[in-house]
Every structure is written in C-alpha cells, then in structure tokens.
Structure 1
Amino acid sequence: MRFMTSLIVASALMAPALPAFAALSGYWDSTKILHAILGDKRLADALKQQPIERIEKTADGYEVSSQDCMVQVKVDSILPDHPGPTRHTIRIGKGHCR
C-alpha cells in the first residue's frame, strides 16, 4: 500500500512536466491566420498594392480594406485528428476597387 501511494504521488508530481498537446489559444491562432493572410502576395495584388487601412473579422474569415479596395479572405479551419494545433487554409477573393 505504501508503494502504491508513493507511485501515485510521484505520478502527480511528474504530470506537469509532460508536454502539452492542446490547441493554441485564440489569440495565437488568430495571429497565425493574420500572418498568413498578410504574407500572401495575392492580397497585395487584390488591393492594387495600396496600404492596408482596416482588417475586420467576418463570419467566413476576414475583410481587408485599403483606401480604394476591399477583398474578402475566407479561412477554412481543419481540426486535427490527433493532439496538435488547428490547421488553416486561406482563400484570397477578388479585390473590389472603386
């Protein structure tokens, strides 16, 4: 019985040292998506190379706007079938300019 108690205590003390396999927090997950969007050459082309003035979250992804143009960016999230981060794919829409 004493050995079993020692084993349980030792296991409980070692548990925090194990690597975490949780998904990223919402903040870090969204930064990964935004970096991917902002780093995509198609976004710059859709905005006619104009500076970005606004990024707004939508139901399907993001709306990115410059002074004269706006483009919809769709984000598809793929939940992993094992522990690890969520994967995302982005689709840059056609830019709409005035």
Structure 2
Amino acid sequence: MNQLFDHSFKSIAAIERGDFVLPFIDSAIVSIKKASALLFSERGQEEAKNILDAESITHCLKKCRSFAEGDDSLTQLDYEIYYSYAAIKTKEADEILQSE
C-alpha cells in the first residue's frame, strides 16, 4: 500500500485563511477516507481502526478546514494542534503499513 495521503500537506508552513489551503485539506480528507475503506475491506473494522483512526483524523482535518474558511472560534494554535495530530497519526499509520 502506498502512503495514506500526500504528506506535502505538511510542508505548508504558515497557513493563511482562504482558498489556498482548502484543496490540500480536502485531498487529505478524501485520501484518509479511501485508505480507511481499503483497510476495512482488507483487514476488518477493528484492525483497520487500530492502524488508522480515520474518524479522529478527519475530524481534525475538518477543523483545519473550518479555520481556513475563517471560523473565528478557532485560533492559529487550534489549527496547529489539529493539523499536528492529523499529520502525526497518518505518518504513524504509514509507518505501520510500510513495515509490514
């Protein structure tokens, strides 16, 4: 299996609110959902969730999307926390799959 999603999303250093970042976030969400479905079909629900907690990751990415769209209830720090969690968890899942 290839990487779960394009990790170039992580190379965006300073995110500004607006349309620039939305395609990256949307692409990551779609990729996570596809990877989750593939893992589920290959390994079953429990093992798929142990490798990739897609629900938590997509929640974080959706929060990042809300921030980029201008949600005033979220701060830059919120964005960085949500983004970091999603990036770390997808990297861990990629590493598990690459080691198998």
Output the TM-score relative to the length of structure 2: 0.27
Larger relative contact order (CA 8 Å, sep ≥ 6) = 2
Which structure: greater strand fraction? Answer: 1
Which structure: greater helix fraction? Answer: 2
**Based on CA coordinates, which of the two structures has the bigger radius of gyration?**
1
Output the TM-score relative to the length of structure 1: 0.27
